[in-house]
Chains A and B, each alone.
Chain A
Amino acid sequence: MVRRPALLRFFPNPGSGRTREGDAPLATETIDAVIRTSEPPRLHPLQRVRELARSRQTLGDLVRKEMKVRYKSSILGMAWSMLNPLLYMAVFSLVFGIILPNSIPHYPVYILSGLLAWNLFSTSLNVGARAVVDNASLVTKVYFPREVLPLSSVGTALVDGGLQTLVLLLFMLLFRSYHPGLSWLLLPLAVFVLLVFTSALCMFVAALNVRYRDTQYLLTIVLLIWFWLTPVVYPSGKLVNKHVFGLSVEKLFMLNPIADVVFAFQRIFYGVVQPAGQPKPVLLPLSVGELAWVLALAAVVSVALLYLAWLIYFLRSGDFAEEL
């Protein structure tokens, strides 16, 4: 057997001068200089929004990744996004139909319309709380606008919401429960409030969770309480004229932006305010105009909250790489 000799010169010879061929400078003169200083960065909303707009492809890619990863190696895959509300509906229909009977007609449509808003909110927050922490390997190694992370959680929940809307529409057809009217005009405003409010809280919990990992656990409890404070499974109309600590329950509901969105969704998709032959309404007996006012107010509050949460997130995000 002939052995090849070991490759000559395993250790490279140093000092072999490299010659540079030609000079082809890249036109960096035309590129804006990026300056990083020790001063805390200032949030210029418009400028930052433009920067974020440039990252929208990344945002989309992160959402796609999240969807793919979530249902990888599951047999039903994306169907879970639809099964989830169906199972909820089944359980609550059982509880409120048989164990604690109520008199809400077309109960599945009622609960699905509320759940649509609620699920988007709670899924966003649950995923959003871990958005920065779970992507630590990215955050500590690559620069990109950090807002993309919590926003991608909202985006993921939005895709889920789209699928759940299909389920809702199916049940609306099944029960022949559709009530076209002025209320449908509320939809854009309600969706706006939902997205803005959810994004605001998402940024807040994502930033907080970097410092205190308790956030993600605490959040589960908070969301559970919040869920029952929001009239998703029970009829808000039945609580009209009730008082807690001297405050009317309707007013308290309205202070909760998610409840406002749920009211709007129920009005749009469910539509039965006062079922025939029942003493009490199912939904709050508000006119569409009144609902619009409530939503408009919630929108203003949500935008203010979003600005605040964004500011906090933006200022904290400079130190994420250090704290992870």
Chain B
Amino acid sequence: MLFELIRLEFLKSFRSTAFAKSVMVAIFLGFLAIMLLGYLLIAGLFLTRIIEQLAEGQDPIQVLNSGLIFFFLVEFMYRYFLQKLPVIELESLLHLPISKRKIMHMLLGRSFFSPLSIIALILFTPFAFSEISTQYGVSGAIFWLGTILFISWTLHWFMLWFKQRFEDSLIGVVIVLIVLLLGLGSAYMGWFNLGELVAPFFNFAMTSFIPLAIMFVLCSAGYYMAFSYYLNNAYLEDLAEEEEVRFVNQSVGFFSRFGMAGELANLEWKLIIRHKKSRTFLMLSAFLLLYGTIFYDNPAYQSGPMQHMFIFVGIFITGIFMIQYGQLFLSWNSGYFDFFLSRKDGVRNLVRGKYLLLLSISLLCFLLSIPYVYFGWKFLLIHLATFLFNAGIMIHLIIYLALWKPKPMDLNKGAMFNYEGVGAAQFLMIIPMMVAPYVVYLPFAMFFNFYAGLAALGTVGVVGIIFFNKLSTININRVLKNRYEISSSFRQEL
């Protein structure tokens, strides 16, 4: 029976529509995964050297042991965002005479077969057997590596429970924030040294099997916790929970000044906050507002050729939502595109509404980025210039490219590693988007100076804004011209 369930799982993944319909994307993702794991392996092989470079004259083992806690904090974060919950297919099995326990063991077991489970193994195995085994013997290396692996796997089971229990709830967000603060507070602010506090545990792990045993017990407990939680909640209402209607009547008043396009912008805003995928995009743009802190404070970027990077950062900060959301321009409405087609001026106003929404969010991002003035007035100018360029030129460019063979997608699935609606166009469009601002900026920045480049960007942006109606009409006509192809591709099964 278990074998039969496993066989079904295989069939399911090979026959999933996403896989079958875009083999290219599947191959690309597979390639990407192998490449990333390859990088990890290389990083693992050179870990000793890397540590020696970073902390000269110190014992690499000590340095690593006091840094490990940060690895796990990062692991917590990426697991939170990437790890998927294995519950969707339950509905088709629950009424059959297969015991729930078996189904749950199978689902949980399957979730474990993921590249995330071997990251720690790949990264730390070379170090364990080159560094630790020479000083503490092979048994020390095994105890140490085993401890790390079991911590990583405990996180896996913990996250399955945590996400099912708290995802989309305030407590979940608060806990994630606490983990972030723990890491940042310790690493950047120097409030306390988390690494030193936890290092003795890993030091102990090299000489004794006790930490390994502790983590093994914790890992089993984590599995059991996830298992019993899922078992007790194997009901349709808990798994495919109907979302409570939230944010009722939360219209953005200012949109209503723009007539029907404004109404549709309001609808689009509701679409964004009521679907998981778009909510994640919104959250990401909030996070990316902090992107500048990496660069703006860093002396390496302040002058010379590296300062051209700032344009890129500015485009991202003020336009990330535009770029991400605009990429899948019409796919967001794929489920009910016919609704707009069957209304007078529906498509025209849909596109205008989307313009309005994207511009508003971009403006909001610009306003929120004003505090970067703290690092210097220069950054306000950068953000102003890139915002103008985004609003005048980039938005039309993104939408133009996104209208090349749009594909349908399901908004209720998560956003991470979900490539529904993504086709070759979405991959290729990154290139012109990266290049376009520099085409305007670089000549002026090279011949004159940085500020001349910014002025050029801003001016071109303003010109774009002045000709907004002309430029947006190009895109609107493109949708109208291709409406039959677009709507028939949206009616396909996902």
User: Do chains A and B interact in one complex?
Assistant: no
> Which positions in B face A, CB cutoff 8 Å?
none
Binding site for B on A (CB under 8 A): none
